[in-house]
Amino acid sequence: MASPLKVSLVSADHEVWSGEASMVVARTTEGEIGIMAGHEPMLAILASGQVRLTLAEGAPITADAEDGFLSVENNTVTIVAGRAELV
């Protein structure tokens, strides 16, 4: 099994969620992107919409996020949004 992603989702004033996930799906200005362990490093502008996380055991977590960015490096995904909240 691949190493899990370390994910941090923060809004302008607080941490919304952090932990390990097997997959992250987010909407960027270039379109929707899916991220799994081993993904190439990248930086993208976050578009308004849902961020969907799949935990290692398969449980889903969904958040609404807008106005920010998403970065991926060394199996670490950081999502910084102007506004974000769990659905």
- On whether the CB atoms of residues 63 and 17 are closer than 8 A, the answer is yes
Convert the pLDDT of each residue in 2-38 to its tens digit.
Answer: 689 999 999 999 999 999 999 999 999 999 999 999 9
Strand duo 49-54 + 76-86: pairing: unpaired
Examine the pLDDT at 78 and tell me if it is beyond 90. yes
Structural domains in the chain (count): 1
- pLDDT for 3 equals 82
The pLDDT of residue 77 is above 90? yes
* CATH number of residue 81's parent domain: 2.60.15.10
Domain span at residue 65 reads 5-86
DSSP string, 21-58: ESEEEEEETTEEEEEETTPPPEEEEEPSEEEEEE-TTS
49-59 pLDDT, tens digit per residue, is: 999 999 989 99
